[in-house]
Amino acid sequence: MARGFGDGVGRRTVLRGSAVASAALALPTAAAAAPAQVRSGRPSAPWGVQVGDVTAHSGLVWVRSDRPALMTVETSATDAFRRVRRWRGPLVGAGTDFTGTTALHGLPPGTEVHYRVLLADPEDPRRVGEPVQGTFRTAPARRQGVRFLWSGDLAGQGWGINPDRGGYRIFEEMRRLDPDFFLCSGDNIYADSPIAPTVTLPDGSTWRNVTTPEKAKVAETLEEFRGNFRYNLLDHNLRAFNAQLPTITQWDDHEVRNNWYPGQILTDARYTEKRVDVLAARAQRAFSEYFPVSTLRPDGDGRVYRVVRYGPLLDVFVLDMRTYRNANSPGRQPDDAQGILGAEQLSWLKRELSRSRAVWKVIASDMPLGLVVADGATNFEAVAQGDPGAPLGRELQVAELLRHIKHQRITGTVWLTADVHYTSAQHYDPARAAFTDFAPFWEFVSGPLNAGGYPAAGLDGTFGPQQTFVKAPTRANTPPTEGGQFYGEVDIDGDSGELTVRLREEGGAVLYTKVLQPGLVGQ
């Protein structure tokens, strides 16, 4: 495949610097975990660096300091940094939990960018800490190959960072594949899932977790939500992964609480704050502090849904199926304007899909369309509600979108999601459906990254899904020691435009492959 990026040696070379030096099993120090209490020395960044929402000419660089610091980013064409461009960043402090993001603009397209983050003492800018290095590739401006990975669900159901397994080792496996970027499809944390020091496994052996005070209970305060994001960055594999691969990140329910919706009042005895809207506001602030997302700011408003344009072959439409949804219900209402996206987001999505000139339009959905995901005995959590007939409830909004795609002759739509803790492939076809005014399309499911596995959900026939592949455990909450940790790979060929999806399992096995042809309204 004509990717045009070389053999990736430079990207690996840069990681011999500070990023890989931090990749020992040793975790950030206790002093670094409490920035406000540190008063001497130079600023440092033991949580590593990240880059998000990279396009052909731009990207967002993230860092967390161990104390107040002035953030500066330097970029170069090589890891020697002999000639640099300098980007002045913010003063990071307690207001953003000592995190900061610097926007890079005017970057050359289709190019490997080496960068380093410098943190300086605000009282004496000559006192600069050790640079923290990373690298990423900008999106191509011309037609050339693109390859990315996707998955979701990290540290769920009490399965945290296990030093006996080498931590989140799936990230090291994905890093070695050297894709252009990683799409995280939600549940980046499990704010409602405490991490205990040990868990007894089905065979009687013991799973050990790294623990922190913020992960000892459900997250309610802003500091507890922040601590959930910090927890994952204790893992050396994830830090090395972040230093090499840019991300496109969305959220789902567990960034706040399982199956939440706006306006919900909790009855869960573990929570003293019962108003989900209050919890969600704190969670979104922490999310915006810990991920470089182009449409969110830690100190202001914004939104998670957005489109990231990655060259002429690919646009990624990042959805938010959580913030604007109506209450979970049996889903049988004959009219539902709010649905799972809200009216404003649906209008945005239809408009941006119509405007897109990319060969492939990947719709990054934080929940599946045709899988029946229950919320208790009578309510439903996703789109499908088990009735295979004409669209009802949230299905009405999806039907409107699918009808728009067909009638506007929008080609190359592919749906990617996670959420259900197994991997599968579904083909949707009006020839099998109760609702027929749409063009065929594919949906691919992956995950979890490091969480419990769950049995496969049933299919709802409204949009005619046929499951061509599924791998799932037969019982609930199987531990990562039993396998069932998944990620997906998308490979777009620069010459033919073919899109190949591979469903992978931790350990490297390719479980399923599907090749899609460009230029078609339906597949």
Strands, E, within 365-418: which ranges?
A: 374-375, 379-380, 413-417
Q: SS3 sequence, 301-330?
A: CECCCEEEECCCCEEEEECCCCCCCCCCEC
Quick one: average pLDDT of 373-401? Answer: 97
Average pLDDT of every residue of the chain: 93
**d(Cα 488, Cα 252) in Å, to the nearest integer?**
18
Tokens of 37: 């209490």
Chain segment 410-420, per-residue pLDDT in tens:
999 999 999 99
Q: What is the pLDDT of residue 35?
A: 53
Q: Which tens digits make up the pLDDT trace of 275-285?
A: 999 999 999 99
146-151 sheet: strands from edge to edge = 99-104, 59-64, 49-52, 247-249, 181-184, 146-151, 486-492, 499-505, 510-516
Using only C-alpha atoms, the chain has a radius of gyration, in whole angstroms, of 22
CA dist 191 and 219 (Å) reads 5
Neighbour-count burial for 338-374, b at 16+ CB within 10 Å, e otherwise: ebbbbeebbebbbebbeebebbbbbbbbbbbbbbbbb
Q: In Å, what is the CA distance from 208 to each residue of 152, 165, 319, 355?
A: 22, 9, 35, 50
pLDDT digits (tens, 9 = 90+) for 247-277: 999 999 999 999 999 999 999 999 999 999 9
Q: How is residue 335 written in tokens?
A: 């009219």
Tokens, residue 347: 């209008």
d(CA 27, CA 5): 33
pLDDT of residue 8: 36
Q: How many CA atoms lie within 13 A of 237 on its CB side?
A: 18
Q: 348 and 442 in contact (C-beta within 8 Å)?
A: no
Per-residue pLDDT band for 457 (boundaries 50, 70, 90) equals very high
Specify the amino acid at residue 29.
T
CB 293 within 8 A of CB 251: no
Residues paired with residue 206 on neighbouring β-strands, in sequence order = 200
Q: Can you read off the two tokens belonging to residue 401?
A: 């979108």
Mean pLDDT (whole number) for 96-101: 98
If you average pLDDT over residues 73-94, what whole number do you get?
96
Structure tokens at 445: 């499911």
Distance CA 17, CA 436 (A): 56
Element (H, E) at 512: strand 510-516
Query: Would you state the structure tokens that stand for residue 187, as one six-digit string?
Result: 């549940």
In whole angstroms, what is the distance from residue 175 CA to residue 182 CA?
A: 10
Which of 194-208, 297-311, 329-343, 467-481 is least confident? 297-311
User: Hey, what are 195's tokens?
Assistant: 């991490």
All domains in the chain, ordered by first residue = 41-137 (2.60.40.380), 146-516 (3.60.21.70)
**Helix, strand or coil for residue 331?**
coil
pLDDT tens track for 210-233? 999 999 999 999 999 999 999 999
Q: What are the Cα distances from residue 299, in Å, to 12, 22, 55, 91, 99?
A: 35, 29, 24, 13, 12
The answer to whether residue 287 scores a pLDDT higher than 60 is yes
* Rounded Cα distance, 341 and 355, in Å: 19
* CA dist., res. 363 & res. 122, Å (int): 42
**Band of pLDDT at residue 4, cut at 50, 70 and 90:** very low
> Tokens at residue 453, please?
């596995």
pLDDT in tens, 163-194: 999 999 999 999 999 999 999 999 999 999 99
